[in-house]
Amino acid sequence: MAVDPKLRFLVVDDFSTMRRIVRNLLKELGFTNVDEAEDGAIALQKLQAGGFEFVVTDWNMPNMDGLTLLQSIRATPNLKHLPVLMITAEAKKENIIAAAQAGASGYIVKPFTAGTLSEKLNKIFEKMGQG
C-alpha cells in the first residue's frame, strides 16, 4: 500500500548514534519527517504536544524506559492508536512477550539490518491500512 512519505516519526533512544542510524534508515526508506527524543519522558512530552504518527523506541533508557513509554502511550486516549515499534538489545523471551502484551506493534532485536526495519514497518503499515 502507498504510505504517506510525510508520515511523522519519533525516534526514541538514549544513544545519539542509534537515533542517527534509525533516522538515516528511515530516510532511505523515504521518510524524512523524523524527530528524536533521548528518553521515554521526553518522548512522552513530545508526543503529547501532538503531530506524531509513528514511534520507534529503544527499551533500556534513563528516566523512562521504552516499555513504560509504550504502556503510557496505550493508556493515553489521544495517543493509544499510535503504532510503536521497539528496537532493542533486550533479547529475552519474556521481554518480547511483555512488549507484545503491552501492545507493541513490532519488535526488532539489535543488531538489526535495514531490511528488517523495512519489513517490520511495512507489516505495521499493512495492519494500519486494515484497521
Partner 1 sequence: MTANNDSSDLEALFDSIAADVKVEAPAPKPVQPPAASKTGDDDDLQALFDTVAAEYVVSEPVAATEPAGGAAWSAQESVFNRIGHMARQLHDTLRQLGYDKLIEDTVSALPDAKDRLAYVANLTEQAACRVLNATDIANPLVDDMEKGATQLGERWDKLFANQLSVNEFKELAGETRAFLKEQLPQKTRATHAQLTEIMMAQDFQDLTGQVIKKIVTLAQDLESGLMGVLIEAVPDTRRTQEVDNLMNGPVVNAEGRSDVVVNQQQVDDLLDSLGF
Chain residues that interact with partner 1, rule: CB under 8 A: 13-15, 17, 20-21, 24, 58-62, 65, 67, 88-98, 100, 107-110, 112, 116
Calpha distance 15→92 (Å, rounded):
21
Tell me which residue of 84, 62, 88 sits closest to 75, measured CA to CA.
84
**Smaller CB distance to partner 1: residue 52 or 107?**
107
Please report how close the Cβ of residue 91 comes to partner 1 at its closest, in angstroms. Answer: 5
Query: How far is it, in rounded angstroms, from Cα 76 to Cα 85?
Result: 17
Task: Report the SS3 class of residue 40.
Answer: helix
Residue 24 or 76 with smaller CB distance to partner 1: 24
Contact 18, 58 (CB under 8 A): yes
- Which grid cell sits at 88? 532493542
Bond prior to 83 in cis (omega within 30° of 0): no
CB 7, min distance to partner 1, A: 21
Q: Which is nearer to partner 1, 75 or 97 (CB)?
A: 97
Q: Give the shortest CB-109-to-partner 1 separation in angstroms.
A: 6
What minimum distance in Å lies between the beta carbon of 54 and partner 1? 18
Q: Which residue number, 33 or 116, has a Cβ lying nearer to partner 1?
A: 116
